[in-house]
Amino acid sequence: MKPPPRAERLGYMDTEGPPATVPGDLHDTLAELPGDAGIEPLAPSAARTQEAAQGTAASGPLARIEVLDRDGRVRHALNVTAWPVSIGRAIDNDIVLDDPHVAPRHAVIEADTAGAPRLRVLPGRNGMRWGRRKLSAGGEPVLLAESGTAASAGTAARWTGAPTGIELTAGLTRLRLRRAGDALEPERELVVGSGRYAGTLVLALLLWLWLLAEHWIGLDPGSKAADWLPPLVGAPLALTGWCLAWALASKIFQHRFEFWPHVAVAVRGLLVVEVASFVLLWLSGLSGRPIFAQLITGVAAAVGLVTLWAHARLVLPQQRRALAWAAAAAYVAGAAILLALNQQRHERWFAELYSHILPPPALQWLTPKPRDAFVRRAEQLRPALEKSRADAAAEQKEMGEDGEDE
């Protein structure tokens, strides 16, 4: 008896496009031969095995479909040597997914007239997702093509920094389609040996010495030895605990205990904050312009968020773009809240009125003003100060009357 065509075995009818070259066609052709032709019809599995071996020997795999785990690692993969490829929960699919949100016959990836893969989501309750795009069940086939990612015949594709492959989601299962011409990320350098963390250790030592010098400048004469405990012991212990926590997160999500990479991120972030604060503070003092001192909080917050993003990127490298957007949104929201609070409390955008550092007069960039000019400018502050005093007196009087009424 003639076996059913492959389209019926997969549970769908190909109503458009050219006939695909599939292992089932070979089976049907052999089945239609006369009985005395000396050739026995192959079983579907044998036909597929024979054609796959021929395709692999001729030109190698056409593509590779990978099933990913929650961390983006490949759980299992299928080298595609002929289209179409069926996806579903039934065990006779090419890719079997153990996901209750996937139909027994969920989707088929086939080839169009030019040989490019296209996705057909079969009828069912749940569709699929291609990146952020929702694909409805039973909808029209979608061409899985991204401009600039696949190489033309005889040429090598150039990696543009985008993730390699086409991300698909069926139910709660993530899949990735990689074509033979897709560009790959360049090989990363593997640093081994005793000098692997030498740069990080040097920067950590510089940061520690910087903190010690800053603490020494701020100490009063006659300070106790216990006053040196925070920079001597507290800072190294805090840095170690911070990096250990991030390393444990990397162990959970990436299965690697990346302590030293997190130390490198934290040390560089802290050094940038210290140097930027020092430079802005002295620029404010030398120039006499408080705007530089007012920028210290914003710059420190920006560097801190970039440092947090770098830590999180080591833990979740697949989500680095989403993490970057989250960090940017947090910075904008935090800056808006801080400016609004300053306006409410001090009636100005910045809390700092002037620089709190006074460099030697010989180093200042501005020419000192004459005393008479300073007095005249100070007189201009009298109306504002009188208004503030009157407002404070009125508020105090109102509070006193409310207390007497109670």
Instruction: Tell me: pLDDT of 49 over 50.
Output: no
Residue 154 resides in a domain: no
CATH number of residue 108's parent domain: 2.60.200.20
Is the pTM higher than 0.75? The answer reads no
The residue among 18 and 133 whose pLDDT is bigger is: 133
Q: Which helix (H) or strand (E) element contains residue 143?
A: strand 142-143
Domain boundary among 319, 346, 373: 346
Domain boundary among 346, 365, 397: 346
State how many domains the chain has. Answer: 2
Instruction: Tell me: pLDDT of 138 over 60.
Output: yes
Residue 396 resides in a domain: no
Whether residue 168 is found in the same domain as residue 280 = no
Read off the tokens for 126: 């749940």
Residue 98 resides in a domain: yes
Q: Compute CA 276 distance to the chain's CA centroid, rounded to the nearest angstrom.
A: 26
Residue 243 resides in a domain: yes
Whether residue 274 is found in the same domain as residue 211 = yes
Whether residue 312 is found in the same domain as residue 172 = no
Residue 78 resides in a domain: yes
One DSSP character per residue, 250-305 reads HHHHHS---HHHHHHHHHHHHHHHHHHHHHHHHHHHHHT-THHHHTHHHHHHHHHH
**Distance between CA atoms of residues 156 and 149, nearest Å:** 10
Percent of the chain with pLDDT over 70: 78
Angle at 312 between CA 176 and CA 160, to 5 degrees: 45
Confidence of residue 170 (pLDDT cuts 50, 70, 90): very high
Nearest to 299, CA basis, from 323, 272, 325, 321: 272
Confidence of residue 302 (pLDDT cuts 50, 70, 90): very high
- Give the domain extent around 213: 197-217+226-346
Whether residue 254 is found in the same domain as residue 174 = no
Burial of 228 (0-12, 13-18, 19+ CB in 10 A): middle
Residue 381 resides in a domain: no
Q: What is the pLDDT of residues 329-341, one digit of tens each?
A: 999 999 999 999 9
Residue 73 resides in a domain: yes
Return the minimum-mean-pLDDT range out of 21-25, 63-67, 296-300, 380-384.
Answer: 21-25
Mean local confidence (pLDDT), 187-191 = 73
Whether residue 341 is found in the same domain as residue 302 = yes
Whether residue 137 is found in the same domain as residue 237 = no
Whether residue 210 is found in the same domain as residue 327 = yes
Residue 382 resides in a domain: no
Domain boundary among 346, 380, 399: 346
Between the CA of residue 265 and those of 210, 269, 321, what are the distances in Å?
Answer: 17, 6, 18
Whether residue 58 is found in the same domain as residue 172 = yes
